Amino acid sequence: MSTLVGVGMGPGDPDLVTVKAANLLAKADVVFVPVGDSDNSHPPETGRAEQTALFYAEAWRIERVVFALHDREHTARRERAWDDAAAQVAAWFAEHPGGTAAFATIGDPCVYSTFTYLAATVREQVGELTVELIPGITAMQDLAARSGTSLVEGRETLSLFPMTAGPERFREALGRGDAVVAYKFGRMLPETLAALRDTGRMAGAVYGAALGLPDEDIRRAADLDPMGRGPYLSTLIVPPRREGRGHGLR
Ligand SMILES: C[S@@+](CC[C@H](N)C(=O)[O-])C[C@H]1O[C@@H](n2cnc3c(N)ncnc32)[C@H](O)[C@@H]1O
C-alpha cells in the first residue's frame, strides 16, 4: 500500500523534531517539501521545512513542491497550486507503487498546514493510499518554553487566532481574559498590538519571530515598535489574566 505521511518539523530548531519524525525521514523513499511560488518578497517560510528536513534526509531524497504559500485569500492561483502539487505527488506514487512519501511541514501538520489540502487532493488521485500524520512541536509551544510562559493552568482556556481572519474575535477573546495566541499577524502587527493595549492585556504578552532560526527575536510585546511590522514567522502569546499561584484552579 502506498503511504503518504505528513511530518511535523517543529518551528525551526532541528532538535525539536520528534524521534518518530526523524526515523521516518531517514527511511522514506522521498521527502516532499513545500516552497512558495512568490519571488523574494516573503523569504522566511520558503525552504523552512526543507532546511530542517536536510538534518535528517539526504538532499537527493528531497523533492520540492510549489505552493502559493502566502496568498491570504482562497485565490484561483492557490487552487491551481494545490492541484499541481497533488498531481506531482500522485505522479510520484504512480512511478513508485507501494512507496512511502513524507511531506515535511513546519510546526505540526494538523495546525494551519498545507499538508491538509495536499493529502485530500492526492487521496482523490491515488487509488490505494494510506495517509498518516506525525505530530510536530508548534511555534506557540516553542515560544512558551523559550520565554518561560505558562500557557494554561487549571481551568483556563486557550484560543488560537490567525490574524488574517480579522482582529474582532481576537479582541473578544482578549476581553474575556483567556490565554490567547496569535499567528499570521506579521503585516498586522500594529492592529495586533493596539488590541492588546485597548483590552489591557499588554503586560505578560510575549512575541517571538523566526523561532529556532538565526534571526530569532524573542521579546516582551510591550517592547515592540507599535507601528512596526513583523516577519511572516511571528507568534504572540498572551497569557491569561492571573492573580497569584493557582489562579486557574479557582
Ligand atoms: C501556516 S502557519 C503554520 C503553523 C505551524 N503548522 C505550527 O504548527 O506552528 C504559519 C504561522 O505559524 C507561526 N510560526 C511557524 N513557525 C514559526 C517560527 N519559527 N517562529 C515564529 N512563528 C512561527 C507564525 O505565526 C506563522 O505565521
- What is the chain's mean pLDDT, rounded? 90
Q: Which residue has the higher pLDDT, 96 or 117?
A: 96
Output the CA 96–ligand 1 centroid distance in Å.
32
Domains in the chain (CATH in brackets) are 2-134 (3.40.1010.10), 139-249 (3.30.950.10)
Output the CA 128–ligand 1 centroid distance in Å.
32
Output the CA 24–ligand 1 centroid distance in Å.
22
Average the pLDDT over 56-83 and give the result. Answer: 80
pTM metric for this prediction: 0.91
The predicted structure's pLDDT at residue 179: 95
Average the pLDDT over 162-172 and give the result. Answer: 91
Residue nearest to atom 23 of ligand 1 (CA): 233
Residue nearest to atom 2 of ligand 1 (CA): 112
Summarised one tens digit per residue, pLDDT across range 97-111 is: 999 999 999 999 999
- In 3D space, the residue among 229, 150, 235, 126 whose CA is nearest the CA of residue 187 turns out to be 229
**Ligand 1 pocket: which of 7, 116, 183, 232 to mutate (most atoms <8 Å of CB)?**
183
43 has a pLDDT exceeding 60: no
Banded model confidence at residue 10, pLDDT cuts 50, 70, 90: very high
Whether residue 84 contacts residue 90, with contact meaning beta carbons closer than 8 Å, is answered with no
Using the structure block, give the residue that is written with the C-alpha cell 530569532: 216
β-bridge mates for residue 6, sequence order: 103, 133
Strand 30-36's sheet: what is its strand order?
Answer: 62-67, 30-36, 100-105, 2-8, 129-134
The predicted structure's pLDDT at residue 248: 64
Output the CA 20–ligand 1 centroid distance in Å.
21
